[in-house]
Amino acid sequence: MPAHDVHSYSNPAESRVRHVELDLAVSFSDKKLRGAVTLSLEPAGKTLVLDTRDLTIQRVNGSSSGFRLGERDKNLGAPLTIDLPAGARSVLVEYETAPTASGLQWLDPAQTAGKQHPFLFSQSQAIHARSWIPLQDSPGVRVTYSARIHAPLPLKALMSARRVRDGHFHLAQPIPPYLIALAVGDLEFQAVSQRCGIWAEPSMLKSAAHEFEDVEKMVQAAEGLYGPYRWGRYDLLVLPPSFPFGGMENPCLTFATPTVIAGDKSLVSLVAHELAHSWSGNLVTNATWSDFWLNEGFTTYIERRIQEALYGRKRSEMEFAIETGELTLEMKGLPAEDQKLAVNLDGRDPDDGMTQVPYVKGALMLRLLEEKYGRAKFDTWVKSYFDHFAFQSITTEQFLTYLHATFPGEQLGAWISQPGLPPDAPKVTYDFESTPKKSWATQEWLHWLRQMPVDLSAAKMAALDAEWGFTQSGNSEISAQWLLMAIRARYEPAFGKLEQFLIGVGRRKFVKPLYEELARTPGGKTRAQAIYRKARPGYHPITQATVDTILK
């Protein structure tokens, strides 16, 4: 029986969706998906309750007395209740999406690299699948799926599944609904190995394939640690710059922001991260969004292990040190509740739980276990954890019970239900060089910039800029850090770049702190609002919601 999920209206204990069959047409002219979904049920009780958000339901087939669409909740959307006849095995729902669907972004040609064709992509995690498919949108309700997508030529449709042939998809492994994904655009493919390759707009393909050329080695490193990769292909899709996240672990096809293509592979730990989710997250899944750290803490830990295997311990420790610094800084401003690994998200949007806490505090806790019991023993346990819970969605409680079977008496209460970092937290240290040089990795520049005084003068900024050309940097991480400092120092020469960056890039992690920093002064806020008026139409609904709150 699935754990109770406060972010879903669905009733899987009574009627449970097992397979989702989609038949959808993609209409760019009115920004709608339209068609039908057939849901196979087992068991099927008297009623079936689905999650929806801003869907227009045209018809339900297989119901005994029609359907009722409940009231819309701001966070959860609206329940769709369908009465089932005795012996029901499936229902068919005919529907269309709203142009404002929170899980879809419709891009004009101008927002793509090629500028010729429109683009569509989905982002279902955490609870946005319901805005483009009526289903039981809870990570505890795993489904297999198949799909037929009608997209206008010459555009290509891709999904988080095996591509049976053009426009036809099938995923035989049961997944949580937040992993159902779709992208449609002018996309081409380049193979990296037998099972790995890159999808991107034609003009991006070569640089992307070069940046990500180590992906097969990463899969092999992860397999060496945690057992076979169970999803067939592992491909990467490079999205336009409005993609609101760094990456998304959609099965068979990780979605990635183009802002990780730095030219020097310095940001490819993102690939290690999304790949790691093939074990932690996609194979063993958080049962509710309060257990999100099970997905992201394990994944951040494994990301480090993959990096270590490919690029050495020094490199992985450097990145861990940067992340630990980000965690400590962020926790200073977080309410106590949000500093716990298991968070209470009742009445909240689960997207709000996305801080560094589940990621880095989670990874530090696993690192503690590794150091305490030794790598060999801990690795064996982690592998057995993935095998034991494969294709299941589990709670923090279940994790603890399974841990205690091998490591009896292990006390993790302070990590899981107390704020801050416990005294036994591992210290991740890295000896950063202090004299900059051209050959520095992105992370070394970030560290160097971040340790500067917060009250740098515009004159000092100008001197740094003259020496290192930060305003002109093509590296998104360095740009974001530099622009933050430019706002603080009121360093005017960087403000043109700031506007260009905020209009061109919609990755939430970058734009959020920049608007926040601008909003700290009255003059800055006016400037932020002027930029946002131009930038907002190009942002994804998730990024729009975040910036709306900052500038309201």
Cβ of residue 354: shortest distance to ligand BES, in angstroms? 5
**Between 296 and 444, CB nearer to ligand BES:** 296
**Between 322 and 494, CB nearer to ligand BES:** 322
The position carrying tokens 């279902």 is: 124
User: In terms of Cα–Cα distance, which of 252, 370, 379, 250 is closest to 320?
Assistant: 370
- Contact of residue 354 among ligand BES, Zn ion, none (CB under 5-8 Å per partner type): ligand BES
- Contact of residue 125 among ligand BES, Zn ion, none (CB under 5-8 Å per partner type): ligand BES
Site string for Zn ion, 283-312 (x = CB under 5 A): -------------x--x-------------
Set 229, 359, 430, 491: catalytic member? 359
**Between 185 and 246, CB nearer to ligand BES:** 246
Cβ distance 338 to 353 under 8 Å?
yes
**Between 62 and 358, CB nearer to ligand BES:** 358
- Contact of residue 177 among ligand BES, Zn ion, none (CB under 5-8 Å per partner type): none
Which residues form the interface with ligand BES (CB under 6 A)?
125-126, 245-249, 270, 273-274, 277, 296, 351, 354, 509
**Between 63 and 295, CB nearer to ligand BES:** 295
Q: Say how far apart CA 550 and CA 133 lie, in whole Å.
A: 30
Set 96, 201, 249, 274: catalytic member? 274
Return left, alpha or beta for 93; rule: phi > 0 is left, psi -120 to 50 is alpha, else beta. beta
SS3 readout for 51-111: EECCCEEEEEECCCCCEEECCCECCCEEEEEEECCCCCCEEEEEEECCCCCCCEEEECHHH
- Contact of residue 245 among Zn ion, ligand BES, none (CB under 5-8 Å per partner type): ligand BES
Q: Tell me the longest C-alpha to C-alpha distance in the chain.
A: 77
The yes-or-no answer on residue 274 being catalytic is yes
Cβ of residue 453: shortest distance to ligand BES, in angstroms? 28
- Contact of residue 126 among ligand BES, Zn ion, none (CB under 5-8 Å per partner type): ligand BES
- Contact of residue 270 among Zn ion, ligand BES, none (CB under 5-8 Å per partner type): ligand BES
Cβ of residue 92: shortest distance to ligand BES, in angstroms? 29
The yes-or-no answer on residue 359 being catalytic is yes
**Between 301 and 482, CB nearer to Zn ion:** 301
**Between 254 and 299, CB nearer to Zn ion:** 299
User: Bridge-partner residues for 113, per DSSP?
Assistant: none
User: In terms of Cα–Cα distance, which of 383, 258, 360 is closest to 303?
Assistant: 360
Could you give the 3-state DSSP secondary structure of residue 234? strand
Cβ of residue 274: shortest distance to ligand BES, in angstroms? 6
Return left, alpha or beta for 420; rule: phi > 0 is left, psi -120 to 50 is alpha, else beta. left
- Contact of residue 340 among ligand BES, Zn ion, none (CB under 5-8 Å per partner type): none
Which tokens belong to 466?
């003259």
- Contact of residue 26 among Zn ion, ligand BES, none (CB under 5-8 Å per partner type): none
Burial of 552 (0-12, 13-18, 19+ CB in 10 A): exposed
Which tokens belong to 50?
């689905």
Whether the bond between 545 and the residue before it is cis, its omega within 30 degrees of 0, is no
Contacts with 171 (C-beta within 8 Å, 6 or more apart), sequence order:
144, 145, 146, 160, 161, 162, 251, 252
Q: Say how far apart CA 517 and CA 203 lie, in whole Å.
A: 34
**Between 271 and 502, CB nearer to Zn ion:** 271
Cβ of residue 546: shortest distance to ligand BES, in angstroms? 12
Cβ distance 130 to 5 under 8 Å?
no
Q: Say how far apart CA 488 and CA 506 lie, in whole Å.
A: 21
Could you give the 3-state DSSP secondary structure of residue 379? helix
Cβ of residue 142: shortest distance to ligand BES, in angstroms? 17
Could you give the 3-state DSSP secondary structure of residue 174? strand
Cβ of residue 248: shortest distance to Zn ion, in angstroms? 8
- How many binding residues for Zn ion (CB under 5 A)? 2
Cβ of residue 226: shortest distance to Zn ion, in angstroms? 16
Cβ distance 108 to 170 under 8 Å?
no
Q: Which active-site residues does the annotation give?
A: 274, 359
Which residues lie near Zn ion (CB under 5 A)?
296, 299
